[in-house]
Amino acid sequence: MSIVFGWRIVEKIIAGAHDLDTHFVETNPRHNLPVLLALADIWNDAFLHCLAGRIVSPFTEALSSYPAFLAALESQTCGGGNNGGSDNNKSASKGR
């Protein structure tokens, strides 16, 4: 990542990841967004058998192709075929 975006950006990403880790460990589960999103994902998969997938919103134009990549990766990992990142499978939706 540092080759593409530069070390200053990578340092900001690492600092943000550290802040998120701290939030995850120190915040009450009722107000902990990573925990709530994980529980909602488990609920949708296990109990509702929902194939709607996940929402991935790139926050910068440099990551605009990431949702399609993530959809293809998840499809291949879960045994499905690669459909080029379309939203037909259990995929990530692109949004801003």
**Per-residue pLDDT tens digits for 55-68:** 676 677 877 888 88
73 or 85, higher pLDDT:
73
* pLDDT, greater one: 43 or 18: 18
User: Whole-number mean pLDDT of the chain?
Assistant: 77
The pTM assigned to this predicted structure is: 0.46
Residues 6+ apart with CB under 8 A from 66: 56, 58
Amino acid at residue number 66? Y
Q: Which of 37, 35, 80 is nearest to 90 (CA)?
A: 80
At 26, the pLDDT band (50, 70, 90 cuts) reads: very high
For 58, residues 6+ apart whose C-beta sits below 8 A from its C-beta are: 64, 66, 67, 94, 96
* Other residues' Cβ atoms within 10 Å of the Cβ of residue 53: 20
Question: What per-residue confidence (pLDDT) applies to 8?
Answer: 92
